[in-house]
């Protein structure tokens, strides 16, 4: 059995001697060997930088929601102004992330349009890269949607709390009004007894003041009920409006996906029509060739028969 000898060190010495003879010194050789062992990091493309920036923004938004969740949900921890400021900051975060995702989508569409040839055929070498970028944008959209879904749950808790806080006030006001009506009857009787003992001009003036007070009380009560009804309806409308905007956003994403599929199907139909037209032309040319072939064959047979 033959023995094998390791010649790796001999090879390294030969390479070193040839490099030194070519003008390389020890520092250059060490740098080259280090570059073989420790590879330099690849330069990031602008698309990758934007995608990573968007991912960091979504992560920052998630951390912000986790930090201020209790402050936003529990009304005893913060005031309404602070809760409104938290909601404003979250809305600004979401809008910025959406704009960044839209920029990435436009970048993909431009690259996809530039990668097509003059016949509308895609370059196969760039198709995988475009598909990868579409996947990156889809992942970012799903992450943003999950974060906004958490915020929607927080807003739903706040709206439900506002509705529950407004409904008992209306019930309590009705009970107070009924009790005030019941207690006003003996008071009116007492006023009448005292007014009977007072002089006539003072009694008439007191009755007028009492009538104006009761009318003003009834008017203020009706206005308070109307304001509370309006407040409850506005809170319900705000909650419904936010839910509708969330569903509209989901439908917009679905419609955009369907539009992309429709555009792709239209392009495929156009390519199919071109192929069909080429096939029809080939069929016509082959038919003409067959007719010409049979004509020449018939003429040759008749010529040979006449010649014989």
Residue 187: per-residue pLDDT: 43
Centroid of chain to Cα 227: 36
**Sign of the dihedral defined by the CA atoms of residues 167, 173, 178, 179, in that order:** positive
pLDDT beneath 70: ranges in the chain = 1-4, 36-42, 116-125, 165-201
Interatomic CA distance for residues 36 and 14, integer angstroms: 18
Sequence-distant (≥ 6) Cβ neighbours of residue 262 within 8 angstroms: none
Structural domains for the chain = 10-40 (no CATH), 45-167+218-276 (1.20.58.70)
Residue with tokens 């600004």: 92
Write out pLDDT tens, residues 264-287.
888 888 888 888 888 888 888 888
Interatomic CA distance for residues 276 and 282, integer angstroms: 10
Residue 193: per-residue pLDDT: 47
Q: Are 60 and 93 in contact (CB under 8 A)?
A: yes
Write out pLDDT tens, residues 163-193.
776 665 555 455 445 554 454 444 444 444 4
Residue 287: per-residue pLDDT: 82
In 3D, which of 58, 108, 101, 132 has the Cα closest to residue 252?
Answer: 101
Q: How far is CA 183 from CA 81, 178, 180, 306, in A?
A: 40, 9, 5, 137
Interatomic CA distance for residues 67 and 60, integer angstroms: 10
Q: Are 115 and 126 in contact (CB under 8 A)?
A: yes
Residue 199: per-residue pLDDT: 59
In DSSP terms, which residues pair with 98 in a beta bridge?
A: none
Residue 4: per-residue pLDDT: 67
């Amino acid at each position: 059995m033959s023995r094998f000898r390791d010649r790796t060190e001999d090879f390294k010495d030969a390479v070193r001697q040839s490099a030194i003879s070519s003008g390389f010194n020890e520092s250059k050789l060490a740098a080259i060997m280090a570059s073989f062992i420790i590879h330099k990091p690849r330069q990031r493309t602008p698309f990758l930088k934007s995608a990573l920036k968007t991912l960091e923004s979504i992560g920052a938004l998630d951390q912000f929601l986790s930090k201020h969740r209790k402050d936003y949900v529990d009304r005893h921890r913060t005031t309404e102004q602070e809760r409104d400021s938290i909601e404003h900051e979250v809305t600004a975060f979401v809008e910025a992330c959406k704009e960044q995702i839209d920029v990435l989508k436009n970048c993909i569409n431009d690259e996809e349009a530039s990668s097509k040839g003059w016949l509308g055929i895609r370059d196969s070498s760039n198709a995988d890269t475009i598909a990868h970028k579409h996947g990156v944008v889809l992942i970012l959209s799903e992450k943003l949607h999950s974060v906004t879904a958490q915020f929607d749950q927080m807003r739903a808790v706040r709206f439900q709390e506002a509705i529950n806080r407004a409904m008992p006030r209306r019930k309590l006001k009705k009970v107070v009004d009924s009790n005030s009506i019941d207690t006003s009857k003996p008071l009116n009787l007492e006023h009448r007894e005292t007014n009977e003992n007072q002089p006539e001009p003072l009694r008439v003036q007191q009755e007028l003041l009492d009538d104006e007070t009761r009318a003003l009380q009834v008017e203020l009560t009706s206005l308070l009920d109307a304001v509370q009804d309006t407040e409850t309806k506005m809170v319900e409308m705000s909650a419904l409006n936010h839910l509708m905007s969330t569903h509209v956003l989901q439908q917009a994403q679905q419609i955009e996906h369907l539009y992309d599929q429709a555009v792709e199907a239209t392009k495929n139909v156009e390519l199919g029509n071109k192929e069909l037209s080429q096939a029809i032309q080939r069929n016509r040319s082959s038919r003409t060739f067959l007719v010409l072939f049979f004509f020449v064959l018939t003429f040759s047979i008749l010529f040979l028969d006449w010649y014989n």
